[in-house]
Amino acid sequence: MLTTEGHLLDGRVRYAQPLDGYRTGIEPVLLAASIPARAGERVLEAGTGAGAGLLCLVARVPGIVGVGVEIDPAMADLARQNVAANGFDSISVATADIAGWHSGGFDHAFSNPPWHDPADTLPPGARRRLATHEGTVSLERWVAALRGALRPGGSLTVLVPARQAVRVMAALQAEGVGRRTLFPLWPKPGRDAKLALLRGHAAQDGLDRIAPGLVLHDADGTFSRPAQSLLRDGEVLPI
């Protein structure tokens, strides 16, 4: 696999990714910023790709134990190389289908799962299709797998299109995930949200809530100051 060398968090994290195929956007960085992890806790990322989410999370919270699960062997190998390049020996990567992977006791689990409808136009390249389109593992099964890995009270966070939020909230409820929060990501002031973070807690009850969310870009298209603090400075995104 041909790769390009780059960085995340304004150079704090070295990051190689495929030259062709799926390219990492801001989603895993925002996800990592939102995880309420503390040193000593265990964190799972499903569909870790080249490891961007876990790398950013460990850079922000040293001392956590991170596990990434990735079905694509080449991407899993690349994630391991990125882990080694950054010296993050508390991260391990398993090559597995999250639907059939069984491990528990995690304090936090998160994912930006494939969400495009299989009937949508498929992008070129098997690797990109695997990363972006629902296959045999539906969004509901992703939620079930993440829930199954959590200890009681552990947090579950996913980033999906806003149009899938109702579907994912229902899946969270079906899996006994309570205290659910919808956190919209607004592209610009006055624009409808295209993405949303959803957070819940395993085996806990509580009222659902809609948070104010985050505006990603100013009117001129540049990242807003709050977004810059997350994407460049590694600040926390409270949900």
Number of domains in the chain: 1
Show the domain range for 190.
Answer: 3-231
Residues 6+ apart with CB under 8 A from 121: none
Whether 199 is in a domain gets the answer yes
Whether 191 is in a domain gets the answer yes
- The mean pLDDT of 43-47, rounded to a whole number, is 97
Whether 153 is in a domain gets the answer yes
Question: Per DSSP, which regions of the chain are E strands?
Answer: 3-8, 13-18, 42-46, 65-70, 91-95, 106-111, 150-161, 177-186, 195-202, 209-210, 214-215
Whether 237 is in a domain gets the answer no
- pLDDT attached to residue 20: 80
Whether 239 is in a domain gets the answer no
Q: How far apart are the first and last CA of the chain?
A: 37
Q: Is residue 201 scored above 50 in pLDDT?
A: yes
- The mean pLDDT of 154-176, rounded to a whole number, is 96
Whether 238 is in a domain gets the answer no
d(CA 172, CA 186) in angstroms, rounded, equals 23
Whether 185 is in a domain gets the answer yes
Per-residue pLDDT reduced to its tens digit, 99-136: 999 899 999 999 999 854 555 554 555 545 444 444 56
- pLDDT attached to residue 117: 56
At 222, list the tokens. 């540049």
Whether 236 is in a domain gets the answer no
Question: What is the domain-level CATH number for residue 155?
Answer: 3.40.50.150
d(CA 125, CA 135) in angstroms, rounded, equals 15
> What angle separates helix 139-148 from helix 165-174, to the nearest 10 degrees?
40
